[in-house]
Every structure is written in C-alpha cells, then in structure tokens.
Amino acid sequence: MAESMHERTIRRYWEAADRRNWDIFAGFLHEQVEYTLPQTRERVRGRTAFTEFNASFPGDWRIEVQSVTADDRTAVSKITFRCDGKEETGISFFEFDAGRIRRITEYWPAPYHPPVRASGSVERI
Amino acid sequence: MAESMHERTIRRYWEAADRRNWDIFAGFLHEQVEYTLPQTRERVRGRTAFTEFNASFPGDWRIEVQSVTADDRTAVSKITFRCDGKEETGISFFEFDAGRIRRITEYWPAPYHPPVRASGSVERI
C-alpha cells in the first residue's frame, strides 16, 4: 500500500523532532493537542506547551522510527530513543482531527525480570 | 472506514483468548508464528507452542480491547488485562502472512516515577 496520509504525518513529525525543527513539529499539532503518559500519570496540553516540552527535553537525543501503523482515524508508532549511550523504546498512539494530531498517548516500556512461566515453550533471546 | 480485515482478525483473536476458545485462537495464527517479549527477552515459536503458552497462562484473567489500528501489512492493539483485581496494559504489534498472524511483538509497560522535567507544562493526572 502507498504510505497513508497519517503515516506520512507521523514520520515527518518524528523527523522534525529528531532535527529540532520545532516550527515544523508544531505544524503537525492541533492547537488543543493533549499528550498523556499513562505510566507516570503526566499530561501536557496545547500546541505551545507540548512543543516547549519537547524542545526543552535535555540531552543530545536522537530518534529512529521503527514502525508506523496507520488507518484513517489513528496511528501508532514505535521509536528507538537514543541518548548518552542508552536506548529506550517509545510507543505512541495518535488520534487526529482534520489531519492534525489531537491526542498522543505514549508508553516507555522498560525491561523487567520474566516471571516463572507455566509453559515450557519459552526461549530466552 | 469499515473495519479492515486485519482489525477484524485482531479483535476476534482477543475475543477467542478471552473466551478460552483455543481452537479458534489457533486458527488466526501462522504455523510458524513468532511471539516476542522484548522487555524480558522471551520468545515462543510456533502455533502449537504459542497456543499452549496462552492456554496455560495462570489465573482467571480477562481481556478488554482498548484500540486496534491496522493497515494492510500490520496491526497494533492495546488491551487491558485484568486478573486478581489488578490491571495491566498490553501493547501488541502484529505482522501478517496471507491473513494469518506471523509475528507478535508485545510490550507490558508498567508505572514508574516521573523524572524531574525541564518543562513547567506537565500536569499530574
């Protein structure tokens, strides 16, 4: 399939963040964008505040997009966030309003120790 | 948009798991399905092993689908997994081969304490 409109928006959104092109980044956002981090129960509201949240994020970080899945209402991206020799995975759920990003719900899943499994079919990789 | 083929597959996959309909569940899987948990570096390979992994998962758990985003190659679901009065969020990335689920990469993001933020625009919710 050809890259969908929302997939293209999300790829350009991350490219703008990676390049610190904050005017371009802000252009993808709805004025009332809501950014939510459910794991820490944090929220940032509004285009200006959310752009500033990203622009002020400390460190010489880089973003690499691993995947984007999009339909005509929503998109989900998985990125690798690299900073100071460390790597984190970020998963972002996007909702759109007239082509602009209206809601972002983002998760940063960290490694954890596997539980004892009932199944004997689990390999370690 | 009408529900896409892959969205429908994923919603029925989770419904089958929730109802312990393991024959139906297995029918959505490619024979060589690969299930990966990057956070714990665990993997389960193959339809029989992965169905057994799910069927043997302990507890009186229930699954509620929060969202499915799908295109013609991939899908991403977000579920709430409830067991013994606890709730967890599961995020699953699916790849397909001829309509069957060929790869699943799944994340279970846990709560964590928010870091000190450079931005003053972050609310707690």
ipTM confidence: 0.95
In 10 A of CB B81, how many CB atoms? 18
> DSSP string spanning B35-46?
EEETTTTEEEES
Q: pLDDT truncated to tens, each residue of chain B (125 aa)?
A: 557 999 999 999 999 999 999 999 999 999 999 999 999 999 999 999 999 999 999 999 999 999 999 999 999 999 999 999 999 999 999 999 999 999 999 999 999 999 999 888 999 99
Asked if the C-beta of B112 comes within 8 angstroms of chain A's C-beta atoms, the answer is yes
Contact check, Cβ <8 Å, A111/B40:
yes
Contact check, Cβ <8 Å, A69/B118:
no
Contact check, Cβ <8 Å, B91/A113:
no
Q: What residues of A are in contact with residue B52 (Cβ under 8 Å)?
A: 119, 121
Q: For residues B94 and B104, is the Cβ–Cβ distance under 8 A? A: yes
Least CB–CB distance from A112: residue in B52, B72, B110: B110
Q: What residues of B are in contact with residue A78 (Cβ under 8 Å)?
A: 93
Measure A23 CA to nearest chain B CA, in Å. Answer: 18
Asked if the C-beta of A42 comes within 8 angstroms of chain B's C-beta atoms, the answer is yes
Q: What residues of A are in contact with residue B117 (Cβ under 8 Å)?
A: 42, 53
CA angle A61, B103, A123 (to 5 degrees): 85
CA distances from A86 to A60, A103, B87, B118 (A): 11, 27, 29, 19
Structure confidence by residue, pLDDT tens digits, A78-112: 999 999 999 999 999 999 999 999 999 999 999 99
In total, the C-beta contacts within 8 angstroms joining chain A to chain B are: 147
Q: Where are the beta strands (DSSP E) in A1-125?
A: 29-37, 42-45, 62-70, 74-83, 86-97, 100-107, 123-124
Best of B33, B36, B40 to disrupt the A interface by mutation (most A CBs within 10 Å)?
B40
In 10 A of CB B1, how many CB atoms? 7
